[in-house]
Structure 1
Amino acid sequence: MSETVRTWAETAPRLVAVAAGRVPADLVIRGASWVNVHSREVLARHDIAIAEGRFAYCGPDAGHCIGPSTEVVEADGLFAIPGLCDGHMHIESGMLTPAEFARAVIPHGTTTMFVDPHEIANVLGLRGVRLMHDEALMQPVNIFTQMPSCAPSAPGLETTGFAITAADVAEAMTWPGIIGLGEMMNFPGVVAGDAQMLAEIAATQAAGKTVGGHYASPDLGTAFHAYAAGGPADDHEGTQEADAIARVRQGMRAMLRLGSAWYDVEAQITAVTQRGLDPRNFILCTDDCHSGTLVHEGHMNRVVRHAIACGCDPLIALQMATVNTATHFGLERELGSIAPGRRADVVLTSDLKTLPILQVIARGRTVALNGEIQVDCPHLDWPADTRATVHLGMPKIETDFEIPAPEGANTVTAKVIGVVENQAPTKALTARLPVVDGVVEGDGGVCQIALVERHQGTGKVVNGFVSGFGYQGRMAIASTVAHDSHHMIVVGTSRVDMAAAANRLAKVGGGVTVWKDGREIALVELPVAGLMSDSPAAEVAAKAQAMVRAMADCGCTLNNAYMQHSLLALVVIPELRISDLGLVDVTRFELTDLFEDKT
């Protein structure tokens, strides 16, 4: 059954009556240290009265709001902070459906999420977005959907299962849970004045909604200014202080992310902590968090703690995860603070720095207590065809992963995708590689990568090289999570194991599998679109953690290496990527040859 939120207009008569003491509240929190993110102060021994799922009274004494049936929560000095908001994220990256993602993050104090389901858009198109949107609206917390803007993310450089059009964007803007346009990843298109990109932005702005940004380039010159003129209102791709400063100076919100593998807060928050820029234009987000992080480390509470550890004032960090986010999406009067009329989303904690989450109230009812979920998170009945999306054509064999050398060559200089720990960008490297029986082999930390087409069953395999994972011995890892086109990425040192891993994922309908010495040592099944599981988060997290351990058993030493693996086909983030069309030079946005010389 869908969760409904009554509007302020529908509830206003009772809210006023409760605040005036004429009728009792549904719930009153007594004696809390009220963290007011509007005035940036902590008000000791204050009461908070809630009615109809909204705050009615916030003040020194709510005794006049208490009746015989009013539920009273004795805070005894605990801090009452607004429910935490994630300003930019992809549910699919958690390997979970919206219902299970909500179940995982609610105990961590997240009560609002702004989600971009462009992962499923690449696999199932507008229909997939609608399914995500519909399940999101069923949840006991606020999940707002941004309509994906770029599928494919870079036309001409990759092929997706479905393409998103400007007409799709215009249609989605009429759906009840759509809050804006998802990250505009095709930044070269915007800079060049691409008609479709500008039409999508125009349709969003005409609907009075927010346009998400994604400027994944270190160039802060003319191209950046052209992108800003194209309409994106925020950006989460900054990796250094200058990026954050440039964005806010152009009227954009700088979104600072801490995901499972992206550690971009520390390098940018100095714009506030040291340079003294106005913190109202800074927002904290996660972008991508896998299930293991959610279950074992947290969600937005983890990001806020990290920002504080990086020197940010706790109250400012909380503003960046609450009212700043709500204001950015035009929802300041609806959520993001503890103030009359807003949705009654509040978290009780004993410490503002370490942020233990003791009780979570969403829309006026307790949804989590001492780390345990207290409510149901309803599921959609996902259609059968959404669980049958891995089409390889013929089963893969060892020779599909061979890289023929130029005739007569004994060695080659190959272009190599260089993984950078804890960052989304890669490096465009080169390596001198040996040729054995006419086939180029990996060497010295360089292993193979393959992009296996899985949407149309064409049987196509594009091969290349990658370094930085540290894999040793005979191994392979395959994943149908392959941002953003979500074909299948296979990385390995053994072509036999690479073929076995690819075939295994075709059999189970998608996910992640790790092979070593000819046998499977870890498997995470992701049957929904090859991206998500509707199993409980703890079960998926356990399998994901086993997968991480299996990668380490194969020699990998990177932090959250799976997240790095899943982005190797993301052809809108520099410098070098792989797609179903070939190797992509993202600094030039063009396909490039695998070999530099052939002697």
Structure 2
Amino acid sequence: MKLTIETLRKRIDVAAKRTPADLVIKNGKIINVFTREIIEEDIAIADGFVAGLGCYEGKEIIDAGGSYIAPGFIDGHVHIESAMVTPAEFSNVVLPHGVTTVIADPHEIANVSGTDGIDFMLESSEDIPLDVYFMLPSCVPATPFENAGASLSDRELEKYYGHPRVLGLGEVMDYPAVMNNDENMLKKLEDAHTKGKCIDGHAAGLNADEINIYMTAGIRTDHECINPEEALHRLRKGMYVMLREGSAARDLLALLKSVNEQNARRCLFVTDDKHLDDLINEGSIDHNVRMAIREGMDPILAVQIATLNAAECFGLKNKGAIAPGYVADLIFLSDLRNVTIERVVKSGILAAENGVMKAPVPNSIVPSAAILDSVKISSLNYEDLSINIGTGIANIIGIIPNSIVTRHLVEKADSLNGYFQPNPDKDYLKLAVVERHNRTGSIGLGIIKGLGITRGGIASTVAHDSHNIVAAGTSDEDLLAAIKHTSAMKGGLAVVQDGKILAELPLPIAGLMTDQDSSVIYGHLSELNHALRSVGCSMEFNPFLTLSFLALPVIPELKLTDKGLFSVRSFSHINAEAKK
């Protein structure tokens, strides 16, 4: 609601007790994130904002019955596309988990559809209960070492800074461009600085000296820490450290070892990339809070990290606390230590109760034809999938379970006439990344170890960040079948065995999302998980999530793009055959 003299007068009259509040919440234990104490006062709400704390009368009364009341949780960095649902359906999923605000980076869909993708995310997040703010994709494509569906210049991004829900420049992942004073990168940074906007970082693998460069460039956050040492390097340099617990990158337990009473105010919780089934089964930021408390963190400190810290990091001056002048985003908790959510109030209105939305939001925005027709590949045959490894000593991508970081292995692999032969018994599989935006025919091929598939193949159009088709298989036949079926669906996920499709999830919106209800998608994901077990997966980690990050050439150590095997250490492509 736009602030006018009339609304301001009303709120002041409610605060002064001259006028009854629209809503008063009584008998609640308010978590005060400023002083980190529990206070017991009425909460008076007018026009969706807190007008006062104390003793108030209202037109409507809610008896909290002794429940704890926390500010609405804020996810400080999330890619909505990773949940494979539209913003409206994402709202239906995360609001019952107490998440009332998210800072989203639409670089997934932007890498596929450019400004059309950004426009779709902005339009489809209007007038939904969840407050969705955006950081503009800074690196589309992520690197020059792959083919993406779009390229965004500073001029194309600059026009979005006037949008009220655009907060700044999204994760700057091209560290070499910053370090080497790349003109295009400097212009994007300059635009954000000139307009007083935030700049997010992506400092995967950067040491303390390299963090100096990011901080000097005005980059103030990082969500890529994977150990306490990295977190402390960033905290000591003045960065905000985003404590991430997603689906593929589960870093929170390690990072909590670096958080203490002295530095906690520079930390915030994020999910980054989280699948729909994990959001439904585990939760969102509420899961991070729950984990932190379980590991010994003071519950009120955990709530402060999930609310006020995130709001202050992004300059959201009326969010993150329960106080006069703040938006009335409230979570009712029957159990503080277990973060048991009873009710969620969004802008003074009951939005969810006992894990269920009171009024689910329908998908109202229809994607453009271009977004719905984003998968275009050249014809493929078995010869296109051959990997020459000569003597058999190969550079191999070693998977680390529940991590998006990989190992660069140099090992002997099976070969026939100099060409790699998959060996499921040793967990050596063939990996392919197929360009799917412009029919270039570009195909990258590599060897992976640790995916855990013993038969069949899987493929997906979710492949960070350029989102080409990524596929892995125990045979060329199943690898090719999985790639072709994913293309025929116009995007999505597929599991194949002996040429037969065992399960699928169509994702027609840019090959990343669907407009189906979450219950329908959850059913598809359950079928996919069953099919994954059928092809030998232990399900100790999610193979599709792991697969989706194997094409991201800004995360150590060894990845695969449509242009070939990529060493993050040398920031260059290398051959599958290793030098002796």
What TM-score results when the alignment is normalised by the length of structure 2?
Answer: 0.96
The 2-side partners of 1:263 and 1:311 are apart by: 18
The residue aligned with 1:434 is 414
- 1:513-592 aligned at under 5 Å gives the runs 513-557=494-538, 558-592=540-574
**Which residue of the other structure, out of 463, 468, 471, is the alignment partner of 1:487?**
468
The residue aligned with 1:303 is 288
Residue type at the aligned position of 1:550:
A
Is contact 2:116–2:371 with CA below 8 Å preserved after alignment?
Answer: no
- 1:98-117 aligned at under 5 Å gives the runs 98-117=87-106
Q: Give CA-to-partner distance per residue, 1:183-211, whole Å, 9 cap, x none.
A: 00111221222222221111112111110
> Does residue 361 of structure 1 match 2:345?
yes
Residue type at the aligned position of 2:213:
A
The 1-side partners of 2:208 and 2:451 are apart by: 33
SS in 1 for 2:125: helix
Is contact 1:445–1:471 with CA below 8 Å preserved after alignment?
Answer: yes
The residue aligned with 1:238 is 225
Aligned pair count reads 576
Distance 1:477 1:364, change over 3 A: same
> Does residue 32 of structure 1 match 2:28?
yes
Distance 1:8 1:346, change over 3 A: farther
SS in 1 for 2:287: helix
> Does residue 449 of structure 1 match 2:431?
yes
Is contact 2:387–2:576 with CA below 8 Å preserved after alignment?
Answer: no
> Does residue 43 of structure 1 match 2:25?
no
Q: Give CA-to-partner distance per residue, 1:258-287, whole Å, 9 cap, x none.
A: 1112221121222224xx432111111111
**Which residue of the other structure, out of 196, 202, 212, is the alignment partner of 1:225?**
212
The residue aligned with 1:123 is 112
The CA deviation at 1:460 is 2.6
The CA deviation at 1:167 is 1.1
The CA deviation at 1:447 is 0.3
Q: Give CA-to-partner distance per residue, 1:108-166, whole Å, 9 cap, x none.
A: 110000000100010000121121012122311210011100011112x1121101111
> Does residue 478 of structure 1 match 2:446?
no
The CA deviation at 1:405 is 4.9
The 2-side partners of 1:233 and 1:173 are apart by: 18
Please, which runs of 5 or more residues in structure 1 have no aligned partner?
Answer: none
The CA deviation at 1:88 is 0.5
**Which residue of the other structure, out of 372, 376, 382, is the alignment partner of 1:391?**
376
What TM-score results when the alignment is normalised by the length of structure 1?
Answer: 0.93
The CA deviation at 1:22 is 1.5
The 2-side partners of 1:405 and 1:213 are apart by: 37
SS in 1 for 2:247: coil
**Which residue of the other structure, out of 162, 181, 188, is the alignment partner of 2:176?**
188
Q: Give CA-to-partner distance per residue, 1:397-452, whole Å, 9 cap, x none.
A: 3332222454xxxx411111111112111110122122225532123111000001
**Which residue of the other structure, out of 49, 58, 63, is the alignment partner of 2:53?**
58
Deviates more, 1:140-149 or 1:9-18: 9-18
Is contact 2:351–2:357 with CA below 8 Å preserved after alignment?
Answer: yes
Is contact 2:477–2:498 with CA below 8 Å preserved after alignment?
Answer: no
Is contact 1:434–1:441 with CA below 8 Å preserved after alignment?
Answer: yes
SS in 1 for 2:413: strand
Distance 1:465 1:168, change over 3 A: same
The 2-side partners of 1:555 and 1:425 are apart by: 23
Distance 1:9 1:438, change over 3 A: farther
> Does residue 313 of structure 1 match 2:308?
no
- 1:366-381 aligned at under 5 Å gives the runs 366-379=350-363, 380-381=365-366
The CA deviation at 1:105 is 0.6
The residue aligned with 1:269 is 256
The CA deviation at 1:546 is 2.3
Q: Which runs of 4+ in 1 moved over 4 A?
A: none
The residue aligned with 1:141 is 130
Residue type at the aligned position of 1:330:
G
**Which residue of the other structure, out of 388, 393, 396, is the alignment partner of 1:413?**
393
> Does residue 174 of structure 1 match 2:155?
no
The CA deviation at 1:47 is 1.1
**Which residue of the other structure, out of 260, 281, 284, is the alignment partner of 2:247?**
260
Is contact 2:248–2:546 with CA below 8 Å preserved after alignment?
Answer: yes
> Does residue 248 of structure 1 match 2:264?
no
> Does residue 511 of structure 1 match 2:492?
yes
The CA deviation at 1:357 is 1.3
> Does residue 6 of structure 1 match 2:28?
no
Identity %: 37
Distance 1:445 1:8, change over 3 A: farther
Is contact 1:271–1:277 with CA below 8 Å preserved after alignment?
Answer: no
The 2-side partners of 1:279 and 1:412 are apart by: 50
SS in 2 for 1:358: strand
> Does residue 154 of structure 1 match 2:143?
yes
Residue type at the aligned position of 2:396:
V
Distance 1:343 1:593, change over 3 A: same
The CA deviation at 1:588 is 1.4
Is contact 1:292–1:542 with CA below 8 Å preserved after alignment?
Answer: no
**Which residue of the other structure, out of 191, 196, 199, is the alignment partner of 1:211?**
199
SS in 2 for 1:169: helix
Is contact 1:88–1:287 with CA below 8 Å preserved after alignment?
Answer: yes
The 2-side partners of 1:242 and 1:197 are apart by: 28
The 2-side partners of 1:80 and 1:324 are apart by: 17
The 2-side partners of 1:143 and 1:540 are apart by: 22
The 1-side partners of 2:3 and 2:541 are apart by: 44
Q: Give CA-to-partner distance per residue, 1:312-338, whole Å, 9 cap, x none.
A: 11111111110000001111x311111
Is contact 1:169–1:203 with CA below 8 Å preserved after alignment?
Answer: no
Is contact 2:31–2:69 with CA below 8 Å preserved after alignment?
Answer: yes
The residue aligned with 2:276 is 291
The residue aligned with 1:400 is 384
Q: Give CA-to-partner distance per residue, 1:203-251, whole Å, 9 cap, x none.
A: 112111110010001x424222212212111101101111111112111
SS in 1 for 2:452: coil
The 2-side partners of 1:8 and 1:431 are apart by: 68
CA RMSD of aligned residues (A): 1.5
SS in 2 for 1:268: helix
Deviates more, 1:547-556 or 1:202-211: 547-556
The 1-side partners of 2:410 and 2:389 are apart by: 16
